[in-house]
Every structure is written in C-alpha cells, then in structure tokens.
Amino acid sequence: MSTGRKKDPLWQYFSELPGESDKKTLRVKCKYCNKNMVGLIARMKAHLTKCSDYKSKKKNFGLGASSTTMRNDSDSSDDDDGVEVVDGEPIAKKTREDSSASTSSYSPPNRKNIGGTMLDEVNVTVKSDMEKYLRGKVVFMALDSWSNIRNEPIVCVSVTSTEDDGKVYLIDTIDTADKSHTSEYLLTLAVDNIKKCQSFGCQVRSFVTDNAADMAKMRIELMELEDDEIGDVITYGCSAHLLNLFAKDIQKLEINSKVKKIMKYFKYHHFPGATYKEAGGKALKLPQGVRWNTLADCLESYVKNCHCLAKVCSDHRALLDLEIVRHVQDIELKENIEEYLKKLKKVSMGLDTVQRETCILSDCTHTWKDLLSLD
C-alpha cells in the first residue's frame, strides 16, 4: 500500500529520468516530444501548453480546444485521474458536480451594473417605501453641509419622525458644485425640500441646522417667509452643536495639555505602559477633535487611574521622565482636573441627551435649564 501525498495527474504525461538526476533535482522527459527538463510541476504544466506534439495528439482524438480531458493511454477507465486543459492550460480534472455547477445560467453582476442599474432599482424601491411610510406623518427636517471624500461640497437633507423611535429618512443630497452656500441659496434648498415632502403627504413643522452664520441667517429668513404652501415652520439651531461650542469655551488649555502629555507617555512608551498595566491601570483615553465628549472621557479615565499612575511614578521614579513624574504627583493639578471634570461632565451628559435619536425640543429645554446652574 502506497503512502504519502498523491501525485499530481500531470505526471502521467512525463517519464522520470533517475539516471540523469542529481541528488537535488529530479529530471523528467515529455512522453510526446521527449524533451528533457526539470521535474517541477509549474514547468511541466507550462511545457504542455506549448508542446506541439501534445496538441497534435489532442486534435487526433477529436477533442475540443476550449475544454479537454486527456487520460493516460494505458487506462481509459472512468475512475482514472486526468488533466483538464482549459484555454490551452492543463489543470486538475473537474468532478461532475463542479462541471454541472459551472454550466449554471447565473452570472454575477459586474461593477458597472452594481453601481448603475442595480443601484438605481434599489434607490427607487427604498424611495417608494419611504414615501409610503411618511405619508400623513408630521416630521422635523434637518439640513447640513460638508465635503465628501473627494472634497466636493455636499448638502444633505433628512427628516425624522418621533412616532417611530426617531427613525431618520434621507430626503435628498445635493452636489452644490460651484454654488456658494449663501443664506439665499440655502433657503431655496430648504423650501424645495419642504415642498418635496408635502408632495407625498408629509408635513414639515420644524427645521434645524447647525449654528454657522449662513445657516442662522437662512433660518431667520425661513421663519419670516410668507408662503402658504409650506405654512408656519419652527426653526432653531442644533443644541448638540451649541453644547460642543460651549464645552470649548470652558476648556482649560493648560490642564488639557498636561493630561494629554501624561496619557501619551504611558500609552506610547513600552516601559511606562508595561508597569502601568502591572499596577492594575485600565485603558487610557485620548481626546479626539472630531468626536464630542472625548475630552471628558479622557479626564475621567485619568482621574480613575490616577492612583496607578502615582504608584508607577513612585516605584520607578529614576527610570521615568521627570516632568511626567512631577505632573502626576502634583496634588494641586489633580484637584483642578477633578473640579474641571465636574463642569465638563454636566455638558457631556447634556450632549448625550440632545444627541439621542428620540430627543425632542422639551428635552433640549430641560438640558439648558440644568446647565444654568453651572458656575
């Protein structure tokens, strides 16, 4: 009984030449043209695709050129292993199941179809479902502008219904191209999209934007607009955006700088980071400018792990940066961070409230009233 890995079916077209082989390399001879070559499967396969004698024998058998299975001349049984030649390249013989699967009428869509006709069909279906759901609903509309990954100016318009747990529906995205985002242009977009919603029976009763100067002016113009088709629309600025600006106003840059320096030192230096983990310290968080509330999370993680940082600085003082050690062991700095965090945490909790999908105007009002007590 033979053992070991089964030989590739390609070997039936070649004869081994042990007498001409050295200790490292096996030599073989093609059974059709008697060419002597190194016995490597890749080279043997490449040779068969070019061997004129092999191709002439294939034609003598009357086999197709696009897909052919050549068998060993000494055995023509169905159980024999063969090599299939597809487009002139020999590969392992396919099973009947593989062959039947390959003849299936299904052909996967190409990139052009996915980004073209199929995308258009899905867009029409989703738009139809959205219009059916929003028919008869009262919603508030949001308008915002930004630049996409190609740095193209985009204006996005969406509506939200509080009847369905704050589900958001995209109404339109506008490529503004070379048009300036003036209040007049933004007002035109707002009115057009309000009327668009009304065309399928959806009533817009409030309108929210960020607090940029052009947006703020547009809201005033929309509120004062006398248009019987759109009726009275309540306009207001985004409370989340205002709270983020407020959080920046109460920032203490000196404290922020020291805390970030400590965090980076223990996150990105091997020895301080390893000893900090051994002391039981948890993951340290750094603030990110594009994510609101991350500054509060950073200060909170520092306060919670301050005892571990102090222990590392006390046990390994000689091996650490002395400036970092002084900051960590500065009791006054720690007290200032805790006092600063109390104020920032109230703003952070307010941001979490107004950013909820189900947040309504009354929730924003209560949030601002709570912040009035902030010293």
Per-residue pLDDT tens over the stretch 111-144: 988 989 999 999 999 999 999 988 888 888 999 9
Q: Give the residue-averaged pLDDT of 282-288.
A: 89
- Residue-wise pLDDT tens digits, 230-268: 888 899 999 888 888 888 888 899 999 999 999 999 999
pLDDT at 23: 58
As given in the structure block, the two tokens for residue 61 are 């058998």
Confidence of residue 165 (pLDDT cuts 50, 70, 90): low
- How many other CB atoms are found less than 10 A from the CB of residue 309? 25
The one-letter amino acid at 305: N
Q: In what order do the strands lie in the sheet with 14-16?
A: 14-16, 27-30, 36-38
Q: Give the residue-averaged pLDDT of 301-321.
A: 93
As given in the structure block, the two tokens for residue 177 are 């191209």
| Distance from C-alpha of 216 to C-alpha of 227, rounded to nearest angstrom | 19
Alpha carbons within 13 A on the beta-carbon side of 87: 0
Mode of pairing for the β-strands spanning 203-209 and 138-147: parallel
The SS3 of residue 30 is strand
| Distance from C-alpha of 96 to C-alpha of 137, rounded to nearest angstrom | 58
Q: What is the DSSP string of 342-359?
A: HHHHHHHHHHHHHTSTT-
Q: What is the DSSP string of 86-108?
A: ETTEEEEPPPHHHHHHHT-S---
| Distance from C-alpha of 42 to C-alpha of 24, rounded to nearest angstrom | 17
Give span(s): CATH 3.30.420, the chain. Answer: 115-237
Q: In residues, how long is the chain?
A: 375
| Distance from C-alpha of 82 to C-alpha of 59, rounded to nearest angstrom | 17
pLDDT at 158 over 50: yes
User: Does residue 296 contact residue 256 with C-beta atoms inside 8 Å?
Assistant: no
The fraction of the chain above a pLDDT of 90, given in percent, is 37
pLDDT at 67 over 60: no
Phi and psi at 321, nearest 5°, equal -65, 125
Lowest average pLDDT, out of 92-106, 119-133, 272-286, 306-320, goes to 92-106
User: Does residue 205 contact residue 138 with C-beta atoms inside 8 Å?
Assistant: yes
- Residue-wise pLDDT tens digits, 166-211: 788 999 999 888 888 899 999 999 999 999 999 988 999 899 999 8
pLDDT at 65: 41
Lowest average pLDDT, out of 72-76, 106-110, 188-192, goes to 72-76
User: Does residue 144 contact residue 152 with C-beta atoms inside 8 Å?
Assistant: no
Q: Give the residue-averaged pLDDT of 298-324.
A: 93
pLDDT at 108: 87
- Residue-wise pLDDT tens digits, 16-53: 887 665 556 788 899 999 999 888 888 889 998 888 88
Confidence of residue 74 (pLDDT cuts 50, 70, 90): very low
Per CATH, is 115-237 categorized as 2.30.230? no
Confidence of residue 316 (pLDDT cuts 50, 70, 90): very high
Q: What is the DSSP letter of 232?
A: -
For 240-293, the three-class secondary structure string (H helix, E strand, C coil) is HHHHHHHHHHCCCHHHHHHHHHHHHHHHHCHHHHHHHHHCCCCCCCCCCCCCCC
Phi and psi at 214, nearest 5°, equal -65, -35
